Structure 1
Amino acid sequence: MAEVVLESVSKRFGNDLALEDVSLTVPDGSFVVLLGPTGAGKTTTLRMVSGLDVPDSGTVAIGGRPMAGFAPAQRDVAMVFQQYSLYPHLSVRDNLAFPLKSPVLRTPKDEIARKVAEVAEMLQISHKLDNRATALSGGEMQRVSIGRALVRDPAVFLMDEPLSSLDAKLRSDLRIELKGIQANTGATMLYVTHDQIEAMTMATHVGVLDRGRLVQFGPPREVYEEPVSIYAAGRLGQPRINVLPAGLFGGAPDRAVYIGLRPEHIAQGDGTEAIVRRVERLGDQTRLHLNLRDHDVVTVTDAHTDLTSGDTVKIRPRNPLYFGADGARIV
C-alpha cells in the first residue's frame, strides 16, 4: 500500500472551477472518505489521483513518487465506479481474472486462479464463479466489481460512490464488508460519497469538500464534534444539525450570529418553551419536530415518550456550537 499526497491541486473544465488549491494527504493504510454534494469536486479528486485527468497546477504523488507524466495504467491504482462496469458475456470468474490478464501485469495462470478464489471467498461469491455477470443480483454485481479491484492488490483503491445504486439493506451489508476488508488487508482507500452514514461508519479520515475547496479534514468524530463551519457541520449528522439565531437562548459569545445544536445536544425539562409539531417514532428513539419561536427544531427523546402533537416542551442548549455571520465557527 502507499500514501497519496495532493499538493495545491487545481483543475478547471472550461469556465468551471472543479478544484481549487486542494492539499490532502491520504495516509498509508487509511480509509479516507471525501464527502460533499454533487459538484463539490469529489470525483475530480479521484480522477486526479487515477490519472484520468491532469491537474492544471499542483502535484499528485503516490508512495512518495510524483505522478506527473504517468498514465493511469502506470500508477498502480484500482478504481471502482458507481456502475458495475462488468463484461456481461463473461462469467464471474473471468470478470475477476480479467485485470490480471493484462500484458502489463503478466500474472501466471496458477496465480490468477489463486487470487480469484481468494477474493471470491472474501466477498462471499465463490458459489457464483461460473455464473454469467448478467445472472447476478445488484449486490452480487457490485461485489464482483469490487473484487475486480481487490484482485489486483494495487497500491491505492479509488472508489466512486460504489454503493449508491443499491438498496438500503445491501448498502448496510456491503459497508460492513468493505470496512472489514480494508481493516484486514491494510489497504489504502480513497472513497467518494455524499452519504454521511458511509463516512461516519467506514472512514478513518473524512475530507469535506465545498465547491472544489477542501474545508476540513480529520477523523469523522472530530469533524462531527468540532466542525470549522456551518457547512462542515451540516455534512455529518442524522438528523442534521439545527442552525438557529444565536440569541434564541441567550448567553451567546460576541460575534456569534448562529447557534448550532445537534439533535442529541438539546436538553428537555427546563428552558425555553417550544411546541411539538410532529412525533416521529423510530423504535430505538423518537424524534421530536418542534416549533421554537417560529423556528423549526429537531431533537431526540426517549423512545417511549408520551408527547404528542400540540404539546409544549421546554428545551435548552447543551454543548452548543457558535458561528459568525460568514458561517465560520467561533470557538
Structure 2
Amino acid sequence: MAEVVLQDISKAYGTTRANDHVTMTVPDGAFVVLLGPTGAGKTTCLRMIAGLEQPDSGDIRINGRTVTNDTPAQRNVAMVFQQYSLYPHMTVRENLAFPLRSPILRTPEEQIKRKIGEVAEVLRISHKLDNKATQLSGGEMQRVSIGRALVRDPNIYLMDEPLSSLDAKLRADLRVELKRVQEKLGATLLYVTHDQIEAMTMATHVGVLDHGRLVQFGSPREIYERPVSLYVASRLGLPRINMLPADIFAGAPSRARTIGLRPEHIAQGSGKESKVVRVEHLGDQTRLHLDLEGHDIVTLTDVHTGLRPGDTVAVEPRAPLYFDGDGARIA
C-alpha cells in the first residue's frame, strides 16, 4: 500500500470545472471517502488518480513518486466500478484470475490459485468459484467485482460507488464486509459515494466536494460536529440537520444568520412551544416532525413516546451550530 497525494489538481471539460485546485493526502492504510452530490467532481478525481483522465494542472504522487504522466498500468492501482464489469461467459474463478494473467503481471499459476483462494475466503464466495457470473445474485456479483481488485497488490484501491446499484440490505451487508476486508488487508482505499451513511460507517477520513472544490477534509466525527459551512453540515447526518433563522432562539452571535440543529441536539421539556405534525416510529428510534413558528424541524424522542399529531412540545437548542450570511460557520 502507499500514500497518495493530490497537489493543486484541476480538470475542466469545456467551461465546466470538474476539479478546482484540489489538494488532498490519502494516508497509507486509510479508508478515505469522497462525498458529494452528483456533479461534485468525485469520479473525475478518482479517474485522474487511476490515469484514465489527465489533469489540466497539478501533480499526483503515489508513494512519493510523481505519476501524472504514467499510464494506468504503470501506476499499479486497482479500480472497482459502479457496475459489476464481469465477464459473463467466465466462472467466478476465471474472473478473479483474469487480472493476474495480464501481460504486465504474468503471475505464476500457483500464486494465482493461492490468491484466488485467499480472496474468495475473505469475501465469503469460496462456494461460488465454479459458478458462471450469470448464475450469481447482485450481491455476489459485486463481491466478485471487488475480489478482482483485491487479488492484486496495488498501491491503492479506487472504488466508484460500488454499492449504489444494490438493494438496501445488501448495501448494509457489504458496507460491513468492505470495512472488514480493508482493515484485515491494511489497504489504502479511496471510495467515492453520495451516500452519507457509507461515509459515516466506513471512512477514516472524509473529503467533501462542492462543485469540484475540496471544502473540508477530516474524520467523519470532525466533519459532523465541526462543519466549516452549511453545505458541509447538510452532507452528513440522518435525519438532516435543521436549519432555522438564527434569531428564533436567544443567544445567537451578532453575525449569525442561520442556526443549525442536529436532531439529537434539540432538547424537549422547556423553551419555545412547537406543534407535533407527525410521529415516525422506526423501531430503534422515534422521530418527531414539529412546526416551530412556521418552520419544519425534525428531532428524536423516546422510542415509546405517547405524543401524537396536534400535541404541543417545548423545545430549545443544545450544542447549536451558527452560520453567517455566506453559509460559513461561526466558531
TM range (shorter): over 0.9
Shift of 1:315: 0.0
**RMSD (Å), alpha carbons:** 0.5
5 Å-filtered alignment, 1:115-130, equals: 115-130=115-130
Q: Is 1:283 paired with 2:287?
A: no
- What's 2:256 paired with? 256
- What's 1:268 paired with? 268
5 Å-filtered alignment, 1:177-326, equals: 177-326=177-326
5 Å-filtered alignment, 1:26-105, equals: 26-105=26-105
Q: Is 1:12 paired with 2:12?
A: yes
What's the secondary structure of 2:253's corresponding residue? Answer: coil
Question: Moved runs in structure 1, 4+ residues, more than 6 A?
Answer: none
Tell me the distance in 2 between the aligned counterparts of 1:58 and 1:146.
Answer: 30
Amino acid at match of 2:58: G
Amino acid at match of 1:327: G
Amino acid at match of 2:148: R
What's the secondary structure of 2:280's corresponding residue? Answer: strand
TM-score, length-scaled by structure 2? 1.00
- What do the CA deviations read for 1:119-157 (whole angstroms, capped 9, x no partner)? 011101111101000110000000000000000121100
Tell me the distance in 2 between the aligned counterparts of 1:69 and 1:160.
Answer: 22
Amino acid at match of 1:155: N
Shift of 1:68: 2.1
Shift of 1:73: 0.8
Amino acid at match of 2:235: R
Q: Is 1:160 paired with 2:179?
A: no
Tell me the distance in 1 between the aligned counterparts of 2:69 and 2:276.
Answer: 61
Shift of 1:283: 1.0
Amino acid at match of 1:153: D
- What do the CA deviations read for 1:10-47 (whole angstroms, capped 9, x no partner)? 00011111010000000000000000000001000101
Tell me the distance in 2 between the aligned counterparts of 1:189 and 1:284.
Answer: 31
TM-score, length-scaled by structure 1? 1.00
Amino acid at match of 1:86: L
Tell me the distance in 2 between the aligned counterparts of 1:83 and 1:294.
Answer: 44
Q: Is 1:108 paired with 2:133?
A: no
What's the secondary structure of 2:303's corresponding residue? Answer: coil
Aligned identity (percent) is 72
What's the secondary structure of 1:98's corresponding residue? Answer: helix
Amino acid at match of 1:190: L
- What's 2:24 paired with? 24
What's the secondary structure of 1:299's corresponding residue? Answer: strand
Tell me the distance in 2 between the aligned counterparts of 1:330 and 1:277.
Answer: 31
Structure 1 residue ranges without an equivalent (≥5): none
Tell me the distance in 2 between the aligned counterparts of 1:187 and 1:295.
Answer: 46
Number of matched pairs: 331
- What do the CA deviations read for 1:30-78 (whole angstroms, capped 9, x no partner)? 0000000000010001011000001000011101010122000110100
- What do the CA deviations read for 1:258-286 (whole angstroms, capped 9, x no partner)? 00000000000000000000000011111
